[in-house]
Chains A and B, each alone.
Chain A
Amino acid sequence: MPLLEIRNLSVAFDTSAGLFHAVDGIDISVESREVLAIVGESGSGKSVAMLATMGLLPETATVKADVMRFEGRDMLAMSPQERGKIIGKDISMIFQEPVASLNPCFTVGFQIEEVLRRHLGLRGRDAHKRAIELLELVGIPDPVSRLKSFPHQMSGGQCQRVMIAIAIACKPKLLIADEPTTALDVTIQKQILDLLVSLQIEHGMGLILITHDMGVVAETADRVIVQYKGHKMEEADVLSLFENPQSRYTKALLSALPENAVGDRLPTVADYDFEAEIR
């Protein structure tokens, strides 16, 4: 049984220009201890699909799916209260902008302890002790004093580590990382990715990594879904995808990598005709 199973997911937004389909009939499934990468350009619906799974889309969004199960439990039939017990505990998510993702008015300690209190019932000293352990686990030096820091007193990389600490606080079964390194500089990107992968192995989590960086995919993923304009273009294990891509769009993406450049000009995805592949 997959950890998360989604069939025929569609997300549409009610806009002044009419309904806009951000995700159109996508199937996603991820197993425990598996790293699934979802890749695609900006606007391909990668994040929207995962936000829909988490129930984090605004009211203007209409989410439809034939199946949405987590550990066999039907998420579509759950009340918001039941869903709230899974979200943040068994499924957690980290985002692209770590500094903006932390509340500027509360200390890092408050923001970590809050999730421990909510889902594990830890309070006072127990919550504080666990928060220190979590900061140590994500590699933040001097965690005792760092708990009293506000987000604006930390760097982007440290904030992302705090976000990861919050996300893994309740030992989730599935972690969704939405472009976790995009807003960070290159050296920190590597550290954060290594941290995510090591935590995924250590905790036996499923990891969905949303990215548009094929290098990140090659290094970390077991399986890859390629998305374009809300459609799934291809799904394959990572080796097959890089060695023998089936979709013209995937080929276009791979040929746009700098190391694949031929001649003076770097090809772009626009050089390839793949629109016909969209169902």
Chain B
Amino acid sequence: MNPLPPDWQNTFNAYNAALTRRQFFRQTGSGLGVAALSALLGQRALGAVAAPNASAAATLTTAMTEPWKIAPKAKRAIYISLIGAPSQLDLFDYKPALQGRFKEDLKGWLAGQGERLTGMTANQAAFPLAPTTFKFAQHGQGGMWLSELLPNIAKMADDLCFIRSMKTDAINHEPANQLVYTGSMQNGKASMGSWLSYGLGTLNKDLPSFVVLHAKHTSPFSNVQAISSRLWGSGYLEGRHAGVSFRSQGEPVLYLNDAPGIPRELRRKMLDGLGELNRRSYEQIGDPEIQTRTQQYELAFRMQTSVPELADMSGESPATYELYGEEARTRGSFASSALMARRLVERGVRFVQIFHRGWDQHGSLPRDIASQSKDVDRACYGLVQDLKQRGMLDETLVIWGGEFGRTVYSQGALTETNYGRDHHPRCFTIWMAGGGVKGGVVHGETDEMSYNIVKDPVHVRDLHATILHLLGIDHERLSFKFQGLDQRLTGVVPASVVKAILA
């Protein structure tokens, strides 16, 4: 086919920008949430170089007005996901009165609770009450009771906001994790991080807006749950919003490293040649997808520089390692992941999720939870304090939690020193810090058994509404039409922002 006449070509060029935007709009029913994207694309199309620091780019995106946008308290978030469900009874939810009721059989009491037990304990002959074997002490100005398992986290009690009244609908790991991280127990939904990427766009166009880190657990005994990429997938949202895993071994991002035998200078030349050929076919055909393709190759090329720079921690000071602990020098450790999370948000990544598995203590809980806690305690402290020292904590929301709670009765045999705990959906504890939440606060309360919530229940969807609120999103307005429905992270059952914990 012959090239188009010049006047047609101009019309094409003018039209293409509009068309690309239109294609985005077509993806969504309400037209909400796409403005950030189209602005980003426009920005890319202009060939703008990477913003040298995140704040310049931030001005760009926050200046836009979308109907779902509200004043943000935080610009970014780090979610520390303890997969397996850490025991609230041994870490946060202090029940001293239980100490005198060791081994009391709760069988009759449980029957009155109307709760289905999991297949793992439903057939136990007895349900012996297992008080924690760990000591609790008061911390911070508010005299918050915290367990000896997390001595460093306890040191910063005044920075933390505990919700002791979390509850969920699921009793098994898979559906519970899906509910916490995608807002639904059904498959095919978009993860929390992908919603944030979709709604807020990116602050650094050389990096993904949602990054996932997988931290190693050190205990050889831990009961390690499997997790699926659907927890950070984009579901019905476009693939660009899916979490990108930064790997702790091999290349940090899949296929990031050039194939062997390709020196960098050649890579650039090859890319230029490719761009040249694509440009010519664009001139002939006028399909805007060709231009977008070229931009994606350029972005990939920039990621080849920005990601290794990120992964290279050699410039971190001894003081930093002092904060996070020496394990932060070991790639893939929780401490190293926490430090990486700080580096990521510092460079404008919107949402970082650290998965740390191994918190499913059905048996040998005292031994295993101690080792799990040791993995994360120091580095959690380091992360929050590091953010604080850098003046970033105010605009960074840190969330720490699992997918449900654990039972007050022992799974399997109970001895003076050993016990296990089964899954418990009716209450669990999480904490948050920074980004618009009050510090030194405990929200919600459970009964004497840490079994039922007696005050201020917070459903998982309320937590989602609150997280979105803090990041400047009205959870009812950020939606995407799919399967005939305006899909939202918080779904169709009403959810509310937990106002009491907002700073």
Our verdict on whether A and B bind, yes or no, reads: no
